[in-house]
Amino acid sequence: MSEHEINNIRVAANFLLREFACNDGSRQVVLHRELLERLQALRDALGWPVIINSGYRNPDHNAAVGGTPNSYHLRGMAADIRVPGMSTRELAKAARQAGFRGIITYGTFVHVDVRP
């Protein structure tokens, strides 16, 4: 398998597995089914691409980016997302409507998660 094909697997209508991979270059992925389902529902409702800035984080990468020790990113249950042309406030509102239980708005992105 070539370098380009690794994690190049469609896991939902509008998402590839590689979009959720750890950003440390390891290509490690843990992806909770509900996170994927809610992200696809959000994408369907908006009709615009949802860009994943950060999905799964392994413990070393999570520490390196200042993530909390109990981050839902460590369990594949969180993503930091943005939608070009949409404010974080509007995106957070749409995420609530899509059923995300954890939503935190930052300057340029929104953290969403499927915490219990």
- How do the domains of the chain map onto residue ranges? 3-113
Global confidence as pTM: 0.94
Q: Hey, how many other C-beta atoms are within 10 angstroms of the C-beta on 21?
A: 21
E strands within the chain? 10-12, 15-16, 51-54, 78-82, 102-105, 110-113
With a cut of 70, say whether residue 17 has pLDDT above it.
yes
Average pLDDT (29-46) is 98
What's the confidence (pLDDT) of residue 69? 96
For domain 3-113, give the fold: Muramoyl-pentapeptide Carboxypeptidase; domain 2 (3.30.1380)
pLDDT digits (tens, 9 = 90+) for 45-104: 999 999 999 999 999 999 999 999 999 999 999 999 999 999 999 999 999 999 999 999
